[in-house]
Amino acid sequence: MKKTAENLTKAAELAGTERRTFGKLLKKTWAHSRLLR
């Protein structure tokens, strides 16, 4: 049971990091497309 909780925490942390990275990437592409126009 404890192991499952640890895995869930790791997964949640990983998802949070991925979402932040994706957000940064999205902002970069958005800014870039704004520049191209």
Q: Where are the domains of the chain?
A: 1-37
Give the pLDDT score at 35.
80
Nearest to 13 by CA among 2, 28, 21, 26: 21
pTM for this model (two decimals): 0.49
Give the pLDDT score at 9.
92
- Diameter of the chain by CA atoms? 54
Give the pLDDT score at 36.
77
Q: What separation in angstroms does the CA of 24 have from each of 7, 10, 21, 27?
A: 26, 21, 5, 5
Identity of the amino acid at 35: L
Give per-residue pLDDT as tens, 1-37: 789 989 989 998 999 999 999 999 999 998 888 887 7
